[in-house]
Structure 1
Amino acid sequence: MPIYNKLVRDLIPQVIEASGGKFTTRILDKPEHLTEIKNKLYEEVKEFQETESRLDALEELTDILELIHAVLPIHEATYDELEKIRIAKKEKRGGFEEGIFLIEVGDE
């Protein structure tokens, strides 16, 4: 039986069970959950970097967004709060839509 030792989506045990598989799981405490979300986020970002199609990119972005939703309660935050901070930061410093690539900044 392969050993995964990683965070999985909440319904994966039911998917494994429905296919006749056996599994072992445990519920992580808050600090472990946060660590594993960070690990999973890193994994999903790497997978996003390797995508070559629109659909694959959207699938990986969906996983990243789901992890963002999962981490918010750990930080006692809501998606609305996150969105307000995102908008404020965008208004102050801009977004990333224009593709501006900074080459160099000289001393005055």
Structure 2
Amino acid sequence: MPVYNKLVRDLIPQVIENSGSRFSTRILDKSEHLTEVKNKFYEEMKEFEATDNRKDALEELADILELIHAALPIFEATYEELEQIRIAKKEKRGGFNDGVYLIEVEDA
């Protein structure tokens, strides 16, 4: 039996059960959950980096967004709060839409 030891989507046990396979799971405590969300985020970022087409890129971005939604309750935060912070940072420093690539800065 393959051993995964990783965070999976909440309905994966049902998918496995419906396929007739056996499995074992456990519910993570808050600190373990955060650690595994971070690990999964890194995994999904690597998968996003490897994409070369629109469909796969959007699938990986959706996974990343789902992980953001999973992390928020761990910090007792809402998506609206996160969005307010994002907007405030964008208003102060801009976004990443223009593709500005900083090469170097000479000290004044």
Bin for the TM-score computed over the shorter chain: over 0.9
- Show the counterpart of 2:81: 81
- Root-mean-square deviation over aligned CA pairs: 0.3
Per-residue CA deviations over 1:75-108 (Å, capped at 9, x if unaligned) read: 0000000000000000000000000000010012
Match of 2:43 in 1: 43
In 1, Cα distance between equivalents of 2:72 and 2:31: 13
What are the residue-to-residue correspondences of 1:1-108 with 2, within 5 Å? Answer: 1-108=1-108
Residues 37-92 of structure 1 deviation map (CA, whole Å, 9 limit, x = unaligned): 00000000000000011000000000000000000000000000000000000000
Code of the aligned partner of 1:63: D
**How many residues are treated as equivalent by the alignment?**
108
Letter aligned with residue 41 of structure 1: F
Cα distance in 2, alignment partners of residues 79 and 29 from structure 1:
22
Counterpart secondary structure, 1:72: helix
Question: TM-score of the superposition, structure 1-length normalised?
Answer: 0.99
TM-score (norm 2): 0.99
